[in-house]
Amino acid sequence: MTLAIPDFTAIQEAHRRIRPLIHRTPVERCRTLDQLCDAEVYFKCENLQKVGAFKYRGATNAVQCLDEVTAARGVATHSSGNHAQALALAARTRGIPAYVVMPKNAPQVKVDAVAGYGATIIPCEPTLQAREETLAEVVADTGAYFVHPYDNPQVMAGQGTAAVELLEDAGALDVVITPVGGGGLLSGTAITVSALAPETRVLAAEPLGADDAARSLAAGELIPSVDPDTICDGLLTSLSPRTFTVIQRSVTAIITVSDDAVKRAMQLVMERMKLVVEPSAVVGLAALLEKRDQVPGRRIGVIFSGGNVDLGNLPWMGDQ
């Protein structure tokens, strides 16, 4: 069986489709960070995207692609992260129902956020098995269309639109770095960059405590994420065969970073750029700060993936 994988034309179509519905997020610079990284760094600020994360691009593209009959039955997913909020708002924007399966122990603030976008929340036991079973029941009951957070060609195509804008605004780059969790953003970015700027390398960054993508790329086979342990709560998931196929084809390297480097990067962005970012968002900057020798070139694009963080519990609190 061949996996459906979007090409760059699909990303261009996605961009035309979602452009009126998303924010064109800014590309920011910071002199202090340029000095610390010994580079010219162009930060694509998807923390300023709707729902505070690039996930809104992919969810919107997937929802907008549905035919009227399918759309009318609604969309469903299981997630306690940014994809849940993204799908909920994308569905509300199209005026269709969204069903989100969330573990009972999900933080109330996340449940409230998803409910605030008008989704129906279906609580389940906090195991992957329970989540998948509950989702299957919801889909069977409602006929809703399951939008996977990354293993979906329309979602991948939507995520690839951030890099289109980054290249438009920053000009020629030596490298683009994204975070990697399930690989939706990374694979979409790789397809865009390969088409628009074949000389530009695509790298990813990943926390050491969830380094399954780096190990998969090194091993040449998909190694699932088992018991990940990192403050980067958006990067805990495993690649899918679909995203891994693209990553193997077009990604030069995946750099692993310590949670300490993530913490430092996050603090620098908030102090110096005055931007709120979540830990997962800054692994690319952390790679530049911690392992600059592994990043070739001087003109570097970094995608800040999101800004949804508990401001009452920032990772450096409790430190001396």
**CB of 226 or CB of 311, closer to a copy of itself:** 311
**CB of 30 or CB of 193, closer to a copy of itself:** 30
- Write out the binding residues for a copy of itself, residues 8-27 only, by CB under 8 A: 26
β-sheet with 175-179: strand ranges across: 27-28, 40-45, 299-304, 175-179, 201-207, 253-257
Q: Is there a contact between 15 and 162 (Cβ–Cβ < 8 Å)?
A: no
Q: Tell me how far apart the alpha carbons of residues 68 and 190 are, in angstroms, rounded to a whole number.
A: 31
Q: Which of 120, 258, 267, 294 binds a copy of itself (CB under 8 A)?
A: 267
Residues 272-311, one symbol each (x = binds a copy of itself by CB under 8 A, - = not), give --xxxx-----------------------------x---x
Q: How far is the CB of 275 from a copy of itself (least distance, A)?
A: 6
**CB of 208 or CB of 270, closer to a copy of itself:** 270
- Write out the binding residues for a copy of itself, residues 40-99 only, by CB under 8 A: 47-48, 52
Q: How far is the CB of 274 from a copy of itself (least distance, A)?
A: 4
Q: Which helix (H) or strand (E) holds 46?
A: none
Give me the helix-helix angle, 212-219 and 241-250, nearest 10°: 60
Residue 196, amino acid: L
Residues 105-134, one symbol each (x = binds a copy of itself by CB under 8 A, - = not), give ------------------------------
The pairing of beta strand 299-304 with beta strand 175-179 = parallel
Number of residues that bind a copy of itself (CB under 8 A): 18
What is the token pair recorded at 73? Answer: 């039955």
Q: How far is the CB of 2 from a copy of itself (least distance, A)?
A: 40
Residues 6+ apart with CB under 8 A from 16: none
Residue 186, amino acid: L
Asked if residue 316 binds a copy of itself (CB under 8 A), the reply is: yes
The pairing of beta strand 40-45 with beta strand 27-28 = antiparallel
**CB of 111 or CB of 255, closer to a copy of itself:** 111
> Is the Cα dihedral 65, 70, 72, 73 positive or negative?
negative
Q: How far is the CB of 313 from a copy of itself (least distance, A)?
A: 9
| Region of 7-15, 98-106, 206-214, 266-274 interacting with a copy of itself (CB under 8 A) | 266-274
In this structure, the number of other CB atoms found within 10 A of the CB of residue 92 comes to 16
3-state secondary structure of 207: strand
Q: Where on the chain is the footprint of a copy of itself (CB under 8 A)?
A: 26, 47-48, 52, 267, 270-271, 274-277, 307, 311-312, 314, 316-317, 319
